[in-house]
Chain A
Amino acid sequence: MRTILYIIQKEFIQVFRNRRMLPIIFVVPIIQLLVLVNAATFEMKRINMAVVDLDLSGSSRQLTSKFQGSPFYQIIGAPFSYEEAEVLMQDGKVDVIIQIPNGFEKNLIKENHSQLQLVVDAINGASAGLINAYSTNIIMDFNREILIEWLNPIQLGGIRAIKFDSRYWYNPKLNYTTYMVPGILVLLVTIIGLLLSGMNIVREKEIGTIEQINVTPIRKIEFITGKLIPFWIIAMFELAFGLVIGKLLFNIPIVGSLWLIFLSAGVYLFVILGFGLLISTITNTQQQSMLISFFFMVVFILMSGLFTAIESMPEWAQLLDRINPIAYFIKIMRMVMLKGSTFTDISSLFYALVAYAALIISLAIWRYRKVA
């Protein structure tokens, strides 16, 4: 026990003596939260639109003004032909073109239906989907308004229609920050934890100190534990620090229990640190370790559900995500922070992480050989 305590003490001395470490520990979380949360947003705030109004009627103007009135749309041009509008899109000046054909109003009155064309720039598939959804919404709204306007109340009463009204639970305003912060916090502790632990034992190999350690009677479990705990404490501190920044700067909601957040984070960190130490024991240089850590980190992060929903991934990818610790923890964080889930709600995810941690740390201890 005294040995473990002393190794922990030694690791702390080494971390804090390394002048480049302190800025990393304090500046990285601030930058990550500030930059990523604000930059990596899916919200469409300014959709540039071109309106090709070939009808020039009251109805077409009414529709155009509906778009104009929306905070999301900015009409930046009203060319007289579709070709001109296409040039604008080609130049990247507009994201969406709406074409109102000649006879739009006339058809609407005479034949009770009419047509519109919506052309969306789909280079970014996700935002194209959003633009389409927003635009369709506005057009449907317009549709309902003209129905009410043109039909007399008696007729209107006869029409059976289902009116639906959607609410967004757990994030009523669809605030992107609220959605992102829990995920970014996970990234933060993951990056710090994985890199610190991944570089550690291999560094001792590089500078040769491991040879001196290996001839001592120190037990493998003592050595690995002594290595794990300091980084665990640092990463937990990072999480607390990140939560404080998130609360102060972005006023993110923390609906669930903080204890539950830290409990899950504690277990999750054992997985990540164990992973790092495992990489550290199988590599020979810090460079190799860094590359391997990055490889896993990028794959795990992209598949974590942070940016894209796991449910929309192909089935094999969803299966693969069962071994992705980041996916588990992001889910737990979102559930607890936004939804206020209790331990019972997250228990299956939690126990999966416990099992994962036990497996990966045993593997790291087993793989660490006290030989030259």
Chain B
Amino acid sequence: MAISVDVRNLSKNYGEVEALKDLTFSVSKGELFGFIGPDGAGKTTLFRILTTLLLADSGTASVEDLDVVKAYKQIRRIIGYMPGRFSLYQDLSVEENLRFFATIFGTTIEENYDLVKEIYSQIEPFKTRKAGKLSGGMKQKLALSCALIHKPVVLFLDEPTTGVDAVSRQEFWEMLQRLKSQGITIIVSTPYMDEATLCDRVALIQNGRIMQISRPAEVVSTFPLGLFSVSSADVYRLLHDLQKLPKEHSVFAFGQVVHLSYREDELTRDDVIDFLKEKGHEEVTVEEIKPNIEDCFMELMQKE
């Protein structure tokens, strides 16, 4: 498959802080590629380098075979970028914003209406409303419309769903799937692990390093450990006590339950139940479960 975005040995430091360390990856044309990682992992820095806003210290990167340093002008014509922060004019109306961005890309709303129709039609009833007065979900739809109005080949979305409600998030990902089906390469970053499963491939990124790149299903299937979901009447004490288990393991609070990962040759379900009974826990349940992407990520972080 043809390569859309290619990154080789990319590094970037801010003074003493290493924001990106020797990143290498490539994204195929028409792929929906996700970067999953906590705040400060280097996602925004990477996006800024790829969108030609920032220069890397070393390494190379290209978008659609155009070098991000030498051919930045051509790149700016063919990419759409939605920064993490809402970056439209709050004092301009929905329609004025869209028209403004269409104009500075040398096009018109009418010319590329097809592409944004599906998204824009949802906010069109409010087109005279000022962008600053929109709800979070609508702002984001407007921002996506503005990033799409010039028919970009590659779309960069930096944490598009941060601060957006669950329903709007789901809608947003459905929109991305549809854009993908039109052949647009989409690179998206998110701190939400559940969104990772919606990508074709995900890169887990932490402290400026990519820890793993694979399909979401593979991430889960390569989880090397066993996993229990443990609950009891007192979750807080449960978490506390489980950390004292004598065998090698790790525990994470996961809503109302605790996930306990362990080496399958060292620990059994009965060991855990016995241990907890000994500690005086009531209503103890221990279930063998399949890991989800968050478990994998926690495990990878643990290894770091």
A interface list, Cβ under 8 A from B: 2-3, 6-7, 10, 13-14, 17-18, 207-218, 370-372
Q: Which residues of B contact A372 (CB under 8 A)?
A: 48, 53-54
Q: Which residues of B contact A213 (CB under 8 A)?
A: 104
Does B120 lie at the interface of the complex (its beta carbon under 8 Å from any beta carbon of A)? no
Task: Closest A residue to B130 by CB, please name it.
Answer: A17
- Given A211-B53, A371-B54; 9 other pairs, CB 8 A cutoff: A3-B104, A10-B89, A17-B91, A208-B87, A212-B81, A215-B51, A216-B105, A217-B76, A217-B77
Q: Which residues of B contact A371 (CB under 8 A)?
A: 53-55
Does B146 lie at the interface of the complex (its beta carbon under 8 Å from any beta carbon of A)? yes
Is the beta-carbon distance between A209 and B88 smaller than 8 angstroms?
A: yes
30 pairs across A/B with beta carbons < 8 Å? A3-B103, A3-B104, A6-B99, A6-B100, A6-B103, A6-B104, A14-B89, A14-B92, A17-B92, A18-B91, A207-B87, A208-B83, A208-B87, A209-B89, A211-B85, A212-B81, A212-B146, A214-B53, A215-B51, A215-B76, A215-B79, A216-B76, A216-B104, A217-B73, A217-B105, A217-B106, A371-B53, A371-B54, A371-B55, A372-B53
Once the chains are docked, how many angstroms separate the CA of A6 from the CA of B103? 7
Interface string of B51-68 (1 = CB under 8 A from A): 111110000000000000
Is the beta-carbon distance between B89 and A208 smaller than 8 angstroms?
A: no
Does B294 lie at the interface of the complex (its beta carbon under 8 Å from any beta carbon of A)? no
Q: Which residues of B contact A209 (CB under 8 A)?
A: 87-89
- Interface of A, secondary structure class, is helix
Once the chains are docked, how many angstroms separate the CA of A207 from the CA of B88? 8
Count residues on chain B whose CB falls below 8 Å from chain A CBs. 29
Q: Which residues of B contact A211 (CB under 8 A)?
A: 53, 83, 85, 87
Is the beta-carbon distance between B90 and A207 smaller than 8 angstroms?
A: yes
Q: Which residues of A contact B228 (CB under 8 A)?
A: none
Known: A208-B83, A372-B53. A216 touches B101 (CB 8 A): yes
Does B299 lie at the interface of the complex (its beta carbon under 8 Å from any beta carbon of A)? no
- Interface of B, secondary structure class, is loop
Q: Which residues of B contact A210 (CB under 8 A)?
A: 87
Of A2, A208, A217, A370, which one neighbours B86 at CB under 8 angstroms?
A208
Task: Closest A residue to B89 by CB, please name it.
Answer: A209
Q: Which residues of A contact B96 (CB under 8 A)?
A: 10, 13
- A2, A13, A209 — most chain B CB neighbours (10 Å): A209
Task: Closest B residue to A5 by CB, please name it.
Answer: B103
Once the chains are docked, how many angstroms separate the CA of A85 from the CA of B176? 90
A20 CB to nearest B CB, Å: 12
Q: Which residues of B contact A370 (CB under 8 A)?
A: 53
Q: Which residues of B contact A7 (CB under 8 A)?
A: 104
Once the chains are docked, how many angstroms separate the CA of A7 from the CA of B92? 12
Task: Closest B residue to A209 by CB, please name it.
Answer: B87
Is the beta-carbon distance between B53 and A215 smaller than 8 angstroms?
A: yes
Q: Which residues of B contact A6 (CB under 8 A)?
A: 99-100, 103-104
Task: Closest A residue to B147 by CB, please name it.
Answer: A212
B54 CB to nearest A CB, Å: 5
Q: Which residues of A contact B100 (CB under 8 A)?
A: 6, 10
Q: Which residues of A contact B81 (CB under 8 A)?
A: 212, 215
Is the beta-carbon distance between A208 and B103 smaller than 8 angstroms?
A: no
Once the chains are docked, how many angstroms separate the CA of A210 from the CA of B52? 14
Once the chains are docked, how many angstroms separate the CA of A336 from the CA of B90? 44
Once the chains are docked, how many angstroms separate the CA of A300 from the CA of B52? 39
Known: A215-B53, A217-B73, A217-B105. A10 touches B85 (CB 8 A): no
Q: Which residues of A contact B76 (CB under 8 A)?
A: 215-217
Task: Closest A residue to B52 by CB, please name it.
Answer: A215
Once the chains are docked, how many angstroms separate the CA of A285 from the CA of B237? 48
